[in-house]
């Protein structure tokens, strides 16, 4: 914590050392602070896009728990509970999301810009996709 109670980050640019509040980082022109993408994630993305079935299996294993958690949280958010919240629905949504990730030459992960961790990106994209799938399901019923 900074002296005034807010968090600060020191940013080194050449010889200049500047201290800026964390919440202002997005306002700094030309400032790039990429989120650290682990070598494992970088390799998984590359290998999946190149068509490695082993990489896809590893990717699914790595993110299956996260996606199922997002499915559960999104179902709760959407008010789906009780008898409507079946294991088959949960699995259908998770599988559908992974099919979406794989579609169009892995477009969802090819377009990942690294502005967050890969796990955060997957959670946000999964939630949006699941909400869309639930909306389509409701309209077709």
3-state secondary structure of 11: strand
Under 8 Å between Cβ of 130 and 74: yes
pLDDT in tens, 59-81: 999 999 999 999 999 999 999 98
Taking the model in full, what pTM does it have?
A: 0.71
pLDDT of res. 88 = 92
List of long-range contacts for 35-38, beta carbons under 8 Å, 24+ apart? 35/114, 35/115, 35/116, 35/117, 36/117, 37/114, 37/117, 37/118, 38/118
Which strand (E) or helix (H) includes residue 120? helix 118-140
**What domains can you pick out in the chain, each with its CATH number?**
1-33 (no CATH), 39-140 (1.10.1740.10)
Residue 18 has pLDDT above 80, yes or no: no
pLDDT in tens, 31-68: 444 556 778 888 889 999 999 999 999 999 999 999 99
Residues 6+ apart with CB under 8 A from 92: none
């Amino acid at each position: 914590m900074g002296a005034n109670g807010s968090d600060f980050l020191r940013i080194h640019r050449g010889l200049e050392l500047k201290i800026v509040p964390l919440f202002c980082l997005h306002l700094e022109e030309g400032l790039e602070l990429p989120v650290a993408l682990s070598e494992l994630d970088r390799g998984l993305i590359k290998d999946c896009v190149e068509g490695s079935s082993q990489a896809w299996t590893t990717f699914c294993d790595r993110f299956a728990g996260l996606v199922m958690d997002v499915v559960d949280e999104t179902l709760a958010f959407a008010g789906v509970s009780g008898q409507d919240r079946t294991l088959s629905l949960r699995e259908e949504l998770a599988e559908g999301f992974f099919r979406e990730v794989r579609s169009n030459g892995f477009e969802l992960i090819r377009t990942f810009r690294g502005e967050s961790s890969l796990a955060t990106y997957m959670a946000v994209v999964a939630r949006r996709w699941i909400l869309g799938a639930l909306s389509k399901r409701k309209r077709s019923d």
